[in-house]
Each structure stands twice: as structure tokens, then as C-alpha cells.
């Protein structure tokens, strides 16, 4: 089985992948960006993919959601919660007071925003924390540092200038496992709905939420993303917790579609 994740070696995505997929028969395939990972599973280059969905500090990883809905056949089949500890990584001989730039992927920079500001550093974005650390190591610069997992220090021979620099000590990232096949297991699971309103009108989200309330569906996560049709028009992502049965899901879909909304179940998962 081939599993795609965000590389290069040393990323949190690699750690999440190795912890979730423990079979010796798993073949891991690294890609340079989250959209590339989703494209790999969407184009049937791999069997499954694991990508970050949300973080304690940053919230939703929008590039994951936006990439996921590009392929109608993709489904979420599982999730994994990874504790995240971030380190300030630098070349040998670097003094913290000399560091002017912090390099990493956008979500990690967001998770350390207060720390970066406190040191008056400029944020520089890369496709991954590992690519940032590799670029730093190759340049040999001592006026810049990368932010990423502890494993990168060992992998690239970098110093850990400061540990646990994330703004929230209880920082976690939720990863989702994606495949091309709908999980047909009828056991109680979380359910991810994607709802595109039939028409843009005042109170449309409130009306949609009232349906879930009437059916006693507890929603644990709500996100809106632009439809790209025109400015100010959004689709909604709603995640129901594990008490939502298959029969209740079917009833919700039936009612929403009867009201003219487009509904897609992105996944049911443990």
C-alpha cells in the first residue's frame, strides 16, 4: 500500500504517517506540498494520503480543505492527533540575538507568531519545515533560523537554539487520512458534511444549522470557504461527532437537498 504525505524527511506529516500506518508493507511517498499530496491520491498515484486538517493555534489548514474538494471521489476515512513541539533550529555558532529571520511552513509560523514578534524576526515561508531547515543548512547563515520538529536537528546537524517555542504549550495538529473509497462501515463515526447553499440569502447558515439542531446532531467543527463563483458566496463544512448514526445522516441530507442545497458527505470515520 502506497501512502502519500508532505515531505521532505523530518516533517510532522512524516511523523504522523509513520505513527498511523504501522504495517511493514506500507510504502511511503513524499511530496513537496499539501496540494501535491492530495493530487497524488486524487490521481490514483497512491492508495492513501495523510494531511493536516487543523491545529490548536492556527485553526483550519485551508490549503488542505481547498485541495480536498477538488476531487469528488475523495473521502476521509480516519484521523490522527499529533502533539506538536516546535524548536528554533540554527546553524552551529548562531547566537539567538543575531537571528533576524524565522523560516518554516505557514501553519508553523502562525503557531509561533507571538514568539517571532517578541524577537522582532521576519517570517519567511517555505513549503515545509524540513525544506526550510534544509535551505538554512545549505546556506550556512547565522542570521536566520528554521522552526520545526526536534528530529530535523539530528537529521541536518543543526543546533536547537530554543525548545518548545509554540505559543500554546498544548499545541496539537489533527491529521486526516484520505482515500478514493467511501468507508461503508455503519458503526457510529464522525461525519464531515460539505454544504453549498442553493442560493445566497440572509440567514442561510442559521437555517442550515437549525436542521442539524432539529435532528439532534451535535456539530463539533464548522468552517466556511469561498465557492470561487463570486465574492461573498461560501460553502460550509460541518463535522458531526460520533453520536451521529447513518440513518440520521441520510435524513439530514434528504432535508437539505429538498431545500435546494448541494450536499456532499466527505467522510465517516473513527
**pLDDT tens digits for range 31-71:** 988 999 999 999 999 999 999 999 887 788 888 988 988 88
Q: 185 in a domain, yes or no?
A: no
Query: Are 109 and 68 members of one domain?
Result: no
Q: Of 179, 211, 237, which one is at a domain's C-terminal end?
A: 179
Please count the other Cβ atoms lying within 10 Å of the Cβ belonging to residue 213: 10
- The b/e string for 12-30 (b: 16+ C-beta within 10 A; e otherwise) is bbbbbbeebbeeeeeebbb
Number of domains making up the chain: 3
Domain CATH number, residue 259: 3.30.70.260
Q: 122 in a domain, yes or no?
A: yes
Q: What is the pLDDT of residue 128?
A: 85
Whole-angstrom Cα distance, residue 34 to residue 142?
A: 29
Query: Are 40 and 69 members of one domain?
Result: yes
Query: Are 76 and 93 members of one domain?
Result: no
Q: 92 in a domain, yes or no?
A: yes
Q: 140 in a domain, yes or no?
A: yes
Can you list the residues of the chain whose pLDDT is less than 70?
A: 184-188, 232
Q: 184 in a domain, yes or no?
A: no
Q: What is the pLDDT of residue 189?
A: 80
Query: Are 57 and 29 members of one domain?
Result: yes
Q: What is the pLDDT of residue 186?
A: 57
Whole-angstrom Cα distance, residue 264 to residue 191?
A: 11
Whole-prediction pTM value?
0.81
Q: What is the pLDDT of residue 213?
A: 92
Domain CATH number, residue 116: 3.40.190.10
106: left (phi over 0), alpha (psi -120 to 50) or beta: alpha
Range of the domain at 41: 2-83+172-179
Q: Could you read off the pLDDT of 255-269 as tens digits, one per residue?
A: 999 999 999 999 888
Whole-angstrom Cα distance, residue 173 to residue 153?
A: 21
Query: Are 198 and 153 members of one domain?
Result: no
Query: Are 72 and 131 members of one domain?
Result: no
Q: 38 in a domain, yes or no?
A: yes
Amino acid at each position: 500500500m502506497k501512502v502519500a504525505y508532505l515531505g521532505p524527511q523530518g516533517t510532522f506529516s512524516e511523523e504522523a504517517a509513520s505513527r498511523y500506518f504501522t504495517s511493514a508493507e506500507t510504502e511511503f511517498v513524499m511530496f513537496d506540498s499539501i496540494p501535491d499530496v492530495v493530487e497524488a491520491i486524487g490521481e490514483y498515484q497512491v492508495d492513501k494520503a495523510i494531511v493536516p486538517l487543523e491545529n490548536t493555534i492556527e485553526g483550519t489548514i485551508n490549503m488542505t480543505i481547498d485541495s480536498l474538494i477538488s476531487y469528488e471521489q475523495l473521502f476521509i476515512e480516519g484521523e490522527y492527533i499529533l502533539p506538536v513541539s516546535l524548536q528554533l533550529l540554527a546553524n552551529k555558532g548562531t547566537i539567538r540575538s543575531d537571528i533576524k529571520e524565522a523560516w518554516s511552513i505557514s501553519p508553523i509560523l502562525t503557531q509561533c507568531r507571538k514568539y517571532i514578534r517578541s524577537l522582532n524576526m521576519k517570517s519567511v515561508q517555505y513549503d515545509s519545515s524540513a525544506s526550510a531547515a534544509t535551505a538554512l543548512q545549505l546556506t550556512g547563515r547565522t542570521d536566520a533560523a528554521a522552526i520545526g520538529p526536534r528530529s530535523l536537528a539530528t537529521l541536518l546537524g543543526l543546533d536547537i537554539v530554543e525548545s518548545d517555542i509554540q505559543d500554546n504549550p498544548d499545541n496539537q495538529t489533527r491529521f486526516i487520512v484520505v482515500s478514493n473509497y467511501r468507508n461503508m462501515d455503519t458503526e457510529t463515526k464522525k461525519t464531515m458534511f460539505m454544504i453549498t447553499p442553493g442560493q445566497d440569502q440572509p440567514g442561510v447558515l442559521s437555517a442550515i444549522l437549525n436542521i442539524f439542531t432539529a435532528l439532534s446532531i451535535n456539530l463539533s467543527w464548522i468552517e466556511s470557504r469561498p465557492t470561487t463563483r463570486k465574492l461573498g458566496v461560501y460553502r460550509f463544512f460541518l463535522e458531526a461527532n460520533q453520536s451521529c448514526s447513518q440513518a440520521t445522516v441520510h435524513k439530514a441530507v434528504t432535508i437539505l437537498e429538498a431545500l435546494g442545497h448541494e450536499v456532499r458527505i466527505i467522510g465517516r470515520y473513527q
